[in-house]
Amino acid sequence: WVIGLTALMTVINLFGARFVARFNSTIVVIQLGVIFYFVYQVYILLTQGVYADGTLNPDKAELWSLTPFWNDMTSISALIGGATVLCFSFTGFDALSSLAEETKDAEKTLPKAIFSTALLAGIIFIVSTYFIQLYFPSNPNIYFKPLDESQPVMVAAIGSIAFKTLVLYFAVVAVMASGISAHAGVSRLMYVMGRDGVINKKLFGHISPRLHTPT
């Protein structure tokens, strides 16, 4: 699988930055659609007073609460662990800078792109996890066994088996999209290092005249 996916990502990157951008943009749009649908379904259930633990209480339906941010079960150690994972989730946005030579007006465009990407991703994380926390109000050990495989359980709790399957397939595709982006950035970085003589110029300092990509 590793060799096959790496070969596939290499072939996709050979078609150039514009093709990679379109490919990844398509995946991102689909991901946003899935997230929107998921949050919307949770929103509908919450307005009806339905919760993941089987509780049905329409009279106490609550959409706006500080409980997802802090409650009786909040653990400082869990927050620190979550913050660590979140930190690594945001690592990599600076890799946009490796595509500076293929960016118009890079001095102005890249800083905006890096900060905008981090900001938008943060908003998406906060909104989606807020509604998830409202829908799964009690001890997570009730729902998630093991705890590190929570995504299939969450998706199955609000959608059909078909939706669960679709989300899991696109989770794999999303990982590939992330790999393609990293592959593109690293290949440009190695090309620049080869061109400047930092590493072997004959091996790394060549641009395909037809595809305009490092080969």
Q: Over the stretch 54-70, which tens digit does the pLDDT of each residue have?
A: 666 666 667 777 777 87
* pTM for the model: 0.74
The CB density around residue 51, as the number of other CB atoms within 10 Å, is: 19
Of the candidates 157, 163, 161, the residue with the CA atom closest to the CA atom of residue 137: 157
* Average per-residue pLDDT for the chain: 78
Q: Looking up tokens 């595709």, which residue turns up?
A: 173
Q: What is the CA radius of gyration of the chain?
A: 21
pLDDT in the model for residue 11? 84
The DSSP 8-state label assigned to residue 52 in this structure reads: T
pLDDT in the model for residue 161? 76
Q: Over the stretch 83-125, which tens digit does the pLDDT of each residue have?
A: 777 776 665 566 667 777 777 787 788 888 888 888 888 898 8
Left (φ > 0), alpha (ψ -120 to 50) or beta: where does 16 sit? left
**Phi, psi (deg, nearest 5) at residue 214:** -60, 130
Q: Looking up tokens 């979550």, which residue turns up?
A: 82
Residues of the chain with pLDDT under 70: 53-61, 88-96, 137-144, 146-149, 159
pLDDT in the model for residue 24? 82
With residues binned 3-state (H G I as helix, E B as strand, rest as coil), the percentages for the chain, rounded to 5, are 75, 0, 25
